[in-house]
Amino acid sequence: MKQIRPQELSALLSQAAPPVVLDVREPWEIATASLTGSVAIPMHEITTRLSELSTAQPIVCLCHHGMRSLQVAMFLERNGFETVYNLAGGINAWSLDVDPTVPTY
């Protein structure tokens, strides 16, 4: 599992085959600030909703500051997911470094 910075994710999202952005925050957090096109599965639901994700498709996990998503990314790797990244700094870093229109909280 590799940590990536918001600018790296921005570049990946502009590619022809972008990764899945897995947002593991709670619904109220996603309602406050989100990344367009992300897949929302709260951290506590990952084990029961694992079948919704492809083990072969690259996945970038994100949360508020990068700690919950780091735990989920490690879990995904242990469960056979091939290419998993954690967004260092989470949605907060995305807001500060890439898209200031995404609110911070």
Q: Catalytic residue numbers? A: 63
Q: Is 66 left (phi over 0), alpha (psi -120 to 50) or beta?
A: left
| Cβ(64)–Cβ(30) below 8 Å | no
CA distance 55 to 93: 26
